[in-house]
A and B are shown apart, each in its own frame.
Chain A
Amino acid sequence: MSTQENVIEIRNLSKVYRDFWGRKKVQAVKSLSLDVKKGEVFGLLGPNGSGKTTTIKMLLGLLFPTSGEIKILGKRASDVAKNERIGYLPEESYLYRFLNADETLDFYGRLFNISAAERNQRADELIKMVGLDHARRRQLKEYSKGMTRRIGLAQALINNPELVLLDEPTSGLDPIGTREMKDLILKLKDEGKTVVLCSHQLADVQDVSDRIAMLYQGELKVLGGVDELLELRGETQIRTGNLSDEGVEELKALLAKHGMKDSLIQKPRADLEELFLRTVRESGERPGRRFTAEEMAATQPADTGKSGDAS
């Protein structure tokens, strides 16, 4: 793959945190090398303290590498000019709490070379996109955590960036917000933008990422495509409509004939996220109603991608 297609190039990147006297406290990142390609959604995974956020902050120039090299959009990480084409959503939405949504986006927009008319138009679109139209005049100190994440995302997109860095994008969001965030990431990808997200919400990363890198104690442990990494090569999954008990028995017999004696065949289950989303949707359509388990099971969509596995 040619260099032009790499939006981010990291070579032998290390970061050592030192104390006031220069003594080594901890090595947060160890000889990390990886590339992020144009147009992909790249997930940076790892448990707490694995070096994800440190890596993101070195990409942004908030931290200085101890050694190694970073190229981001063809420029050095310390070059402020690169920020013209980058959007960044920090782990917490570190915004000015005395501003309201309009003022926040106007302020961040002014930091870019964007005309007032375009700035106002983009701010309006983004506020509507993140669903804060009703609260645009309220100061951010009155916002809930989810609302703060949304306005944080809006500010990250004010300059229509080519590269979006999202640090724990779904942190603090309710399932609806999480779903919307994931949809948005996929939308950004469709628009040709490159997205780097770092999270320990594995399911979220899995849902949207093309490729992932997994860090552990500062070291790169896994790097590759999601499909490629998650494929279970020793198993086969069969999905079908509702099967009768006889059908199940016949299927088991057939599998036994092919040597598959411990096959598991059972009713699929939706995951909790799906259930939550449906409950909220139904509640909106039929207010004041409480749903039974049977009703919820009856409304289970036939084509859900979250059904239980037969393995």
Chain B
Amino acid sequence: MDFDPTPYNIGLGLKNWLSLVGIIAGLGILLGLVGSFASAGGGGGGLFSNGISSFFKELASISPRRVWALASLTLKEAWRRKALLVFVVFAVLLMFAGWFLTDSNDRSDLQINVHITFMLTTISWLILPVVMFLSCWGIPEDIRIRSLHTVVTKPARRVEVVLGRMLGFSIMSTVILLLMGTVGYIWIERQAPKDLDQGKFLTCRVPVYGGLFFLDRQGMPTSQGLNVGDPWLYRSFVEGNSRCRAVWMFNEVTPEKLGNELRLESRFEAFRTIKGSADTIQQGLEAQYTLVKNMREEAFSSFGVGAGLREVAEALRAGDFQSAAELLDAAAERMQSSPADFPQVDCQQVAISCAVQVVPVLRNFKDADLGDVADAFLVFGDAANSVKTGDAASYSELSRACASLAETVRKRADDMFESMPKLEVPLEPFRVSEYHEGDDFITYPRKLKYVADYEGTARFLAKVVSGISEAGKLADGGELSSGLVDELSENHGVSPVNAELVFDVVKSEIDAGTLKVDGNKVEIADGSSWLRLFDRLVREEKLISRDTAGWEMEADIFDDLTVNDYLRVEVACLNDQMFIGMARADLFLRLPDRSFLAGFSKALLNIGLMLSLVIVLGVTASCVVKGPVSFFFTLTIFVIGQFFHQLMLKIVAGSQEGGGMVESAMLIFQHRNPSVGIDANEGTEAVVKGLDWGVNGILKIASNIIPDFSTFSEASAYIENGFDVPWSTSVLPAIMTFVGFLIPCVIIGAACLKFRELEAK
């Protein structure tokens, strides 16, 4: 099972398929031509063209009626030869399996997993040998006893014989599969522990995985978290009580997809650096989700990785755009005076960041037109891209662009701050057990109550107070309206004590002359924004909550926390000196569950496709060679495809540790670890690499023409682990793999049967 699924790319798959089929067809034509000339001498060309044209004529004149007649014959044959007796074996296994598979010491969900695994494995492995034997022996046996002669001397085309056999055996295996699947489903339901709510376990979770990156101890983005010394690098860790975070970005977070709630399921790894007591170990570590909408992070998370612009980047991300402008000015000066602070490699990264992240995000802003800021970043990025070490002119250009950027940022600082909010909604902390007992599954309602931070408070109050002011309710007769307290507490959810606090602070600002009252209108004296005013007030700690609960507010997950349907979830470890390990698949959004029956059916569909592909391969092989050879050929293909296909791909891609076949053999002989490589001089190493290059070439061909049978068994792994079988990552690839092999196999099988003398002595 792939916990990091990537949807199947039909376009790419089709392109690969076409190129592969093209190569095979080309080789087939070449082989046919050679054979024709070898057998007919000068007339080989005519013989070949006649053969090809008659073959395609046959392909074009396939009759479903005849194919069905041959398929029915195959079905009757299988039925009368008692192929369904395999069901008896299945029934006997089921009768006694419960005795050995049920363990009262096991957790209930694990027991159910064992039952599902047993059922799907039994079904696959019982039917597989039956279909392999029948499909490999069908046509050779027909040829041996010459019953095929009476068929092909009728108008039945050879391609119809091949198709009929494939269809017949596939229907037979499907019937057995459906029978076993139905009985198996009932059996699983009956085996499920009676003291549990079956629905809780016999269900199909539908995960939505997000992208994962980390924030390091300084809060800077990084692709990996900390390594706690575990040689298995699957999980990266975040340190407790620090700025370390694991950040997931989930796409398509909409109420239509999720319903009116957010369901987060996780399975993190707890790592302790101090032992703790039995109680604390039992309790596990404390983790916390924070839902974050941070437009500054969206725009500037990758900006200023190098030391020269780090402070600028931090100011941009903090929303302190005036400071950022000043720091940019300072940086512009340093670019002239000490260009070594801005090495070429850092400048390149800045250029990439501007082109890929900053400019597109700023251009796509809906709330405000920040096009001029985007342009300034674009110019700065271009200048950074042109920087060359030791080239003073390029640094001068960069400095000018930087100064210009500083000017633009300074000019638009208020607009940028207003339109690039940061909203953080920390959720209730939860425990991560050191001894996993199922996954942590928490459901959150759409509307979340949370305690706002400084910025959240400032934005909330600026929005509310400016609204009240626009409505003409803030002032009354040149005085601050006494109704403000009631308005805030009754209509905007502010607690009465905090409403009084706001009243007092606004009144003191009027007294100080920061705010001007004109009739029932209140305006800011220096013409700046309400947000800027409240931001200052919050930073001056004039608005510290008088309510012990703090500034409690409400946020809508979908309306307030998503950006273009993306939701950012940050995970922190709250315990000092402790670590929580995470990998991409460890946290997912859980969509509304689907029925177990639907998932089980999809797993059966994949098994059915696998059996049909075995049939297709068996029948194709049997058109060329006799039954036993065909059987061993098909078995070999299946074993390689099921167990070694991924290994082949890894070796071909060079990602398998230990190198190629020859290198691995040498490592074994030399008793050396794969990570240190072989002990050989350059010449020997070159020979080994050369030999491996050749072997890898063969493996590459094999990996392309041998089907990856693990594609089919993946579906079973999903259902065994309680997940729904995803259509685009499991079912669709299985269907495409089957069809991709079916078409060339039918053509190859039919051609081999057509150009073969059935009576050859």
Contacts and interface: CB of A to CB of B under 8 A. Distances in A.
Nearest to A66: B39
A249 interface: no
A51 to B, nearest CB: 12
Query: SS class of chain B's interface: helix, strand, loop or mixed?
Result: helix
A278 interface: no
Contacts of B758: 62-63
Interface stretch (A29-37, A77-85, A290-298): A77-85
B761 interface: yes
A25 B151 CA distance: 28
B58 A90 contact: no
A98 B157 contact: no
B757 interface: yes
Interface stretch (B97-105, B109-117, B142-150, B265-273): B142-150
B497 interface: no
B84 to A, nearest CB: 14
B507 interface: no
B547 to A, nearest CB: 86
Contacts of A101: none
Contact of B80 (A90, A98, A113): A98
Contacts of A103: 76
Interface in A138-176: 139, 152, 155, 159
Nearest to B80: A98
A99 interface: yes
Interface string A72-99: 0000001111011010101010111011
A281 interface: no
Interface in B727-761: 757-761
Interface string B152-173: 1111110000000000000000
Contact of B147 (A78, A83, A94, A111): A94
A273 to B, nearest CB: 29
Interface residues of A, number: 34
Interface string B194-232: 000000000000000000000000000000000000000
Contacts of B147: 94-96
Contacts of A252: none
A107 B69 contact: yes
A63 B761 CA distance: 10
B145 A94 contact: yes
A136 interface: no
Given A62-B149, A62-B153, A98-B81, A110 B761 contact: no
B122 to A, nearest CB: 29
B48 to A, nearest CB: 13
Nearest to A103: B76
A83 B153 contact: yes
A106 to B, nearest CB: 9
A84 B155 contact: yes
B155 A81 contact: yes
Contacts of A96: 73, 77, 147
Contacts of B757: 62-64
A276 interface: no
A86 B54 CA distance: 19
A98 B68 CA distance: 18
B668 to A, nearest CB: 39
Contact of A111 (B156, B760, B761): B156
Interface in A22-70: 25, 57, 60-64
Contacts of A155: 150
A111 B54 contact: no
Contacts of B584: none
Contact of B153 (A81, A86, A98): A86
19 contacts: A61-B153, A78-B54, A81-B155, A83-B153, A84-B155, A90-B146, A90-B149, A96-B73, A98-B77, A98-B81, A99-B73, A107-B69, A108-B154, A110-B65, A110-B68, A111-B151, A112-B155, A113-B65, A152-B150
The 4 A-B residue pairs whose C-beta atoms are closest, nearest first, are A110-B69, A94-B146, A111-B154, A98-B80
Interface of A: 17, 25, 57, 60-64, 78-81, 83-84, 86, 88, 90, 92, 94-96, 98-99, 103, 107-108, 110-113, 139, 152, 155, 159
